Structure formats: C-alpha cells, structure tokens
Amino acid sequence: MKITTRPARPEDAPFLAWTMLAAGRSHMERGIWDIIISQPEDKCLELLGTLAITGPRHMCSYTEFIVAEVDGKPAAALSGYDPATNGEATVGEPLAVAAQKVGLTEEDMAVGLADLDKFLTCHLSDVPGAWIVEHVATLPKFRRMGAIDTLLSEIVDKGRSLGFRLAQVSFYIDNTPGQKAYEKAGFKYHREQRHPDFQQLIGSPGMIQLVLDL
C-alpha cells in the first residue's frame, strides 16, 4: 500500500462532492449540506460537484483541496483555506450559480433555511488569524491506513508556508475518530458550543473547535 498526495483537480469534482457531504455529516446521518441543499443525496452530490468547479475561488473550490491516493486511487481529501480571502462569505454567490446549473430554484434552496437557523446555534466563529482546516473525509474502505494523518501534516505545512501561525479545525462533538486524528496531529482543545436545537437537528450535542500552533 502506497499513500501519495496531490492538489485536487477539476476532474476530482465528484470525489470532492462526496468528501464535502461525508465531512458535513461526520458520524451522523444528516449534516450541514443536507440542510442547506434539502434535496435527495444524488442531487446534493451533483450540486456539490458543480460547486467545486464554479468560480470565483471560494472555500469549497477544488483549488483548496488536497487528495490522498492509495495505490493510485482517491481515498481521502481535505481542504485548507485563508478565511480572509476564501472564507464562508465567498461561497454564497458560487453556490447560487451552481444551484441554477443543476436546475434548483431559489425556492428549492430556501427550504432548508429554518433548519439552518437551528444548525447555527452551534456555529463557531473562526479564530482570528487562523488557517482553516475543513472538509476532512476518507472513503470507508481506506480508513485506518494513515491517509488522513498524511493529509493533515501536508495541509498544516501549507498553512505554515503561507505565513499562518495558527490552524483550527471544527467538528461535531462525539466524533471520536476525528478528534483522535486531530489530536495526533497536535491540535488541542480550544472551545465548544452546545444547544438542544442543534442536537435535535443533527443528533450531536454541538460543535467543538481545536487549534494548533504552527
């Protein structure tokens, strides 16, 4: 078994769509993208794949991702981005364009707004000046092979090379495998947010955030 990494490419869009959907769900059955898109899984994947290759550059763009391959096959991926230039505020316009491309109307996309408010009860703001690690997922058959360890090391090095002195990652409370992987990479507890509306919606008590000095 050989693990190699490379920058994501436009043709990785279907795999990155799966990565974003799986990362958004974490260990739960429903996640942030299920809420935002509020469509069957195949439509969610179509939209996310289109979003990954829709400009201008944003936090879900393929340009922000690194892919790990096991024996030449995509196995895992994650992203790292500067929130000052490619943060959450940059994804709205490309998401609307991507939705239109796959045939979803503004009314279709408005369905999840009520549930989104519940999700945002545990939304953790970015740590000022931090390099953001996001969208971390591995295909089930490639788990526990070290792909995420390799990707985390590389994405942290990328943030450091860009001049960042701190990295952050946020995830659902009780995602034990994810937390162990992040702590193995050196991330430490920073804060968490819990809310009953979030737990009712997602099934997890809330969100937790870890940070790493670079």
Domain with 75 in it: what CATH number?
3.40.630.30
Stretch 121-135: mean pLDDT, rounded?
A: 96
pLDDT beyond 90 at 126: yes
- Residue 144's SS3 state is coil
| Domain residue limits at 109 | 3-213
Percent of the chain at pLDDT exceeding 90: 94
**pLDDT mean across residues, the chain:** 96
Confidence class for position 114, pLDDT limits 50, 70, 90:
confident
- Work out the percent of the chain whose per-residue pLDDT is above 70: 100
User: Is the pLDDT confidence value at 189 over 90?
Assistant: yes
Phi, psi of 141, rounded to the nearest 5 degrees: -70, -10
Domain total in the chain:
1
Closest of 88, 33, 98 to residue 58, by C-alpha: 88
Query: Mean pLDDT over residues 133-159, rounded?
Result: 96
CA pair distance 70, 55, nearest whole angstrom: 29
Q: Positive or negative CA dihedral for 72, 73, 76, 78?
A: positive
List, for residues 22-66, the tens digit of each pLDDT value.
999 999 999 999 999 999 999 999 999 999 999 999 999 999 999
> What does the pLDDT read at residue 113?
80
Q: How confident is the model at residue 2 (pLDDT cuts 50, 70, 90)?
A: confident
The amino acid sitting at 44 is: C
CA angle at 47 for the pair 41 and 49, rounded to the nearest 5°: 100
